[in-house]
Chains A and B, each alone.
Chain A
């Protein structure tokens, strides 16, 4: 009964109701769109940085992250890798050796960042193997092959099949020297790596730098779904559990490498993502605050217009509580109309963002964010939690904003109200 009355009351002023609902709905829709876009960018950053580069959990020699010394390595790397891989919850691992060296083709030479990777494991863990734009990924056996970044290839005027000379310092301070055949050119998405990256087979790199069975990091990607969800707290908790299990492994106990989750390893990236997330919620709060003002205004007007009518209702014995409920239910119906508009609009925006993306290219290049080059076209990503948060927020603010009009309506003095209304 009250619902029917409320619904009909709402449409007595069709235009006003529609405009209020439309304003709220557009706000909701836009904030849904912006959340989807933010989520998309975060996921891309996460993919590029966390899944491909940092891993969920990473092992290092305790002083390597601060010193970057060539000889601060993880020893018995193959046994360590095998043990970590045997751990439940570990999806993939990648042992890596990293150094800097001078590299040159026939004509020119320049500094480069050398990464020794296990081709099979690295391909499973990261998308680097799919970033090869010319030639092929490293062979699974060490064959003195090298992959080089696109910019570096250009700088050295060298291509697939060419010879790459690498000269550096080995672990004993002697000369690391090696000649490699370029098997592929990479566009990885990392500004730094594309302009200076060289990837070698792990064993070739170990021989080059006199670091047999050693490496600088072991990257671990978890198979646990929550760790991939990029939530706010639950993924970190799951990773901490995995980390605790890893630390208990015999080889890790013995060597005590530095074991960190990606948030611990790169707090700045973690904060960046959290900030992004927070900023889209702040936007939602602003939208909802505006919606609340709309509701407040509409409902106060509606109560004011109906002063006489409400007075009569009170006079014939309708309970004030019912009057309050009526006003609140009216507001909630208004919110429902707004939510429908918002969902249709937001859904459409989300669909377009997810399907077609948004072109963010500058001169044909993607934006660069925290050293990671994003793709020129950014795509949105839908997240139930943010859609639900938006709707819940809308209803909650509506409820709050209708309390005052409801109070006013139920506390009218019947006689006064009737007289006032008749003036």
Chain B
């Protein structure tokens, strides 16, 4: 089944005098993997904060599956099927990996026994089941990123927002994570991904949005975005413009 899943229009967020996100339009259809890229400070994470309910926009609307979600608490948005990861990973350090993931699974399975089973399934999906009984606080970076994805997947979402899940990983680990994201899409979940690692973005995404200084400067399939003069200028500077 295809159709519009997320529609954000005219989103504007200001921090004092700084316009972090300026009149951004953004849409995602069911089954897509959509990239959101841009130089540091472009407003990508702020945009995620708006969509996931952590930050209220000064203007604009966000509708998820046709329902207006601006002003809803993050936990409600998550329970509707839209869940995010954090760029600066947020494990519950004193819990085991499995218990971390159970917190997400409890959204769907109130009984601890069922939540434990569902959490194990989410860990298997991101190929992290071997680590289930390790303490989350002692995981290496790659593990923390995987845990972040598993927690989100345990909520059994329709749309996930991945905020730089590749950052700090080695190229070998990139490939594993790409496979994981593909597996997630294959399981019927739509993905929006913020990423700085270009090969990852180019090989994964169906469409890409490019933000620069809070403004949307380009949108389209990877081939088009990579050749766009505005995008090259934003990343490399004026003298490299095609």
Does A associate with B in a complex? no
| Partner-A contacts on B (CB < 8 A) | none
| Partner-B contacts on A (CB < 8 A) | none
